[in-house]
Amino acid sequence: MNKRTKRIIIVGSGAREHALAAGIARSPEKPEVIVAPGNPGMSADAKILSGMPTTSAESADWIASQEPDLVVIGPEKPLSDGIVDRLTDRGIAVVGPSYEAARIEGSKLFAKERMMEAGIATADFRVIKGVQQARETVREWGYPIVLKADGLAQGKGVSVILDDHDLEEALDRFFVRKELKEAQERVFLEKGLSGPEASFIVLTDGTRFIPFPAARDYKRIYDGDKGPNTGGMGALTPLGDWTENDQKDACQIIDRCLWAMRRYGAPFVGFLYAGIMRTPNGLKVLEFNARFGDPEAQVLVPAAGEGLLDLLTQATQGALSTGVSMEGRARVAVVLASEGYPENPVFGTQLEGIEKARQEPHIQIYTAGVSQKGGHLVTSGGRVLSVVGEGASSLEARNRAYQAMAQIRLERGQYRRDIGGRQE
Ligand code: AMP
Ligand code: GLY
């Protein structure tokens, strides 16, 4: 009897989902890879399926009607809407945490509670009821200090406060103008930490896990880490300053977090992402995310080689094989964004040269905010695409990425020139 080709659906539409699709498509099983809703720049690597409803129950029905063998959820939103529970109820194997487990990202205080229980090092914090208590805490702790909203706030829920001026601005934003709406129902202050940051991401079945190499993302819009925060303007892996000891400590953090989630009754299955700062007192966790990072996925997914689909399937079965090591080549992702991003991105400009750039050696291009217009790709989102270069060293990877980027023409676009180290 002929076995049906495996059908994999990836939910999302960005460069992270494109990288996951391309990674899964490398499987020797030659699966049918679908991205929903995806974007037209992915069509060489995956089938694009539009029409997915936006509510979680309807989208679960819609996904189930496609009869997938496996579903992978890319972004945070559907996870915190509970799509995984709905798919699981329909008997579908899905890579991603349940509604309860996704709270590790959706509620920073939930994450803090799990960290306290598990003995994971993180910044000291205090829940704040109002402006007066905030001022008192600042008097007690001094600067730097960080004000955080508990809920999801699209990257705007964190204010790093260095002086009185920052403090007044943050208090005004959080307590007077109430810009963050429901995300700020609970607010807390955290002691400021300093040190280099790393993204440590693992695939887990709830107990066992396989770590991807440590990576770094570049959050600010301009070179030299200047300007406002973005979704991420670039990524680098591996990290030159990441020691074997760091790796051991980071694995212990993940182990403890998975233990705390099981103990809470919400085992975490999927991609678990620890945002880590290396302080003079050791690694400390800034946050957990319940999904792969973007643009971290663009540099890390290829490290799983042809075995990614197998590992994803095993994770959903509670039977992840360990002892699998990721391939350690250097990769640098440079994100091309629309002019005006992140505040007021300009859309509708034509993109040229992608095919030429794709032909450069050791280059992958993953698209995000693009749509099709009159036979051309035009921009339709803040982050347009990621160019990923790979090489034997980060220097080689970065030179390749920038060489390929130079082939792409986008009149009203911008990208950082210092991803993976400044270009000489
Ligand atoms: P988060 O969303 O909690 O990861 O915070 C976003 C960014 O704010 C982090 O990547 C850090 O750069 C910064 N940050 C968060 N918490 C702290 C802290 N306690 N001390 C210093 N910087 C922080
Ligand atoms: N690159 C950071 C994130 O995906 O949250």
- CATH code assigned at 20: 3.40.50.20
Return the bridge partners of 270, or none: 204
Q: How far is the CA of 105 from the centre of ligand 1 (A)?
A: 14
93 and 129 in a common domain: no
Backbone angles phi, psi at 12, to 5 degrees: 145, 180
Last residue of one domain, picked from the residues 174, 191, 208? 191
Last residue of one domain, picked from the residues 191, 222, 237? 191
Q: How far is the CA of 417 from the centre of ligand 2 (A)?
A: 20
160 and 85 in a common domain: no
211-220 CB burial, b ≥16 within 10 A, e <16: bbbbbbbbbb
Which pLDDT score is estimated for 4?
Answer: 83
The domain in which residue 131 lies consists of 125-191
Which pLDDT score is estimated for 183?
Answer: 61
Other C-beta atoms within 10 Å of 244: how many? Answer: 7
- Output the tens digit of pLDDT for each of the chain's 424 residues: 557 899 999 999 999 999 999 999 999 999 999 999 999 999 999 999 999 998 888 999 999 999 999 999 999 999 999 999 999 999 999 999 999 999 999 999 999 999 999 999 999 999 999 999 999 999 999 999 999 999 887 777 899 999 999 999 999 988 888 777 766 678 999 999 999 999 999 999 999 999 999 999 999 999 999 999 999 999 999 999 999 999 999 999 999 999 999 999 999 999 999 999 999 999 999 999 999 999 999 999 999 999 999 999 999 999 999 888 888 899 999 999 999 999 999 999 999 999 999 999 999 999 999 999 999 999 999 999 999 999 999 999 999 999 999 999 999 999 999 999 854 3
11 and 59 in a common domain: yes
Residue 147 lies in a domain: yes
- Is residue 354 classed as helix, strand or coil in its secondary structure? helix
Which pLDDT score is estimated for 421?
Answer: 86
Residue 150 lies in a domain: yes
Residue type for position 405: M
Last residue of one domain, picked from the residues 162, 191, 220? 191
Ligand 2 pocket mutation, candidates 79, 212, 217, 286, criterion most atoms within 8 A of CB: 217
93 and 133 in a common domain: no
**Residue nearest atom 4 of ligand 2, based on CA coordinates:** 293
Total count of domains within the chain: 2
Which pLDDT score is estimated for 77?
Answer: 94
Identify which of 41, 33, 22 has the alpha carbon closest to the alpha carbon of residue 383: 41
CA distance 255 to 92: 27
CB of 193 sitting under 6 A from ligand 1: yes
92 and 133 in a common domain: no
82 and 14 in a common domain: yes
